[in-house]
């Protein structure tokens, strides 16, 4: 028997509202924490994978790439079933969970659009 539904009262309603608000606050804060803190290992990737479309490089950007694409590529690199230069070695340094967290973090980033002027590098 559901107590709330059969005996509605002002107090549980307020409780529910506060609980919902608190829940939202917590999930918002954890979302912020996720946004602020990159998963372990992710900060190294931007050494090769450019954050901006301006950079001339054969290495594909990771920002905005769907999580499942990146995860699939990383697993294939690790298994040796995808042609690679260095990623076959690097992917072996991460667990499934780590690869998934890194892929999800980059999927949530926005690739900076190309500037009109090409980069000086």
Interaction site with another protein (CB under 8 A)? 1-4, 11-12, 15, 18-19, 22, 25-26, 29, 32-33, 36-38, 40-41, 43-52, 54-59, 85-86, 89-90, 92-94, 98, 119-121
Closest to another protein by CB, 76 vs 98, is 98
Closest to another protein by CB, 60 vs 66, is 60
Q: How far is the CB of 66 from another protein (least distance, A)?
A: 21
Closest to another protein by CB, 3 vs 110, is 3
Distance, CA of 20 to CA of 83 (rounded, Å): 49
Q: Residue 26 CA to chain centroid, in angstroms?
A: 19
Tokens at residue 41, please?
Answer: 């290992």
Burial class (CB in 10 A: 0-12, 13-18, 19+), 62: buried
| Contact yes or no for 59/48 (Cβ under 8 A) | yes
SS3 23: helix
Q: How far is the CB of 69 from another protein (least distance, A)?
A: 20
Q: How far is the CB of 30 from another protein (least distance, A)?
A: 9
HSE toward the beta carbon, residue 95, CA cutoff 13 A: 4
Distance, CA of 45 to CA of 78 (rounded, Å): 16
Closest to another protein by CB, 35 vs 72, is 35
Q: How far is the CB of 96 from another protein (least distance, A)?
A: 14
């Amino acid at each position: 028997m559901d107590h709330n539904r059969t005996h509605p009262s002002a107090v549980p309603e307020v409780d529910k509202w506060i609980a919902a608000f608190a829940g939202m606050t917590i999930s918002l804060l954890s979302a912020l924490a996720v946004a602020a803190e990159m998963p372990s290992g992710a900060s190294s990737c931007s050494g090769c994978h450019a954050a901006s479309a301006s950079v001339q490089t054969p290495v594909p950007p990771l920002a905005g790439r769907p999580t499942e694409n990146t995860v699939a590529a990383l697993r294939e690199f690790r298994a040796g079933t995808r042609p690679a230069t260095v990623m076959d070695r690097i992917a072996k340094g991460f667990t499934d969970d780590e690869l998934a967290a890194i892929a999800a973090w980059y999927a949530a980033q926005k690739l900076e659009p190309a500037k009109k002027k090409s980069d000086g590098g």
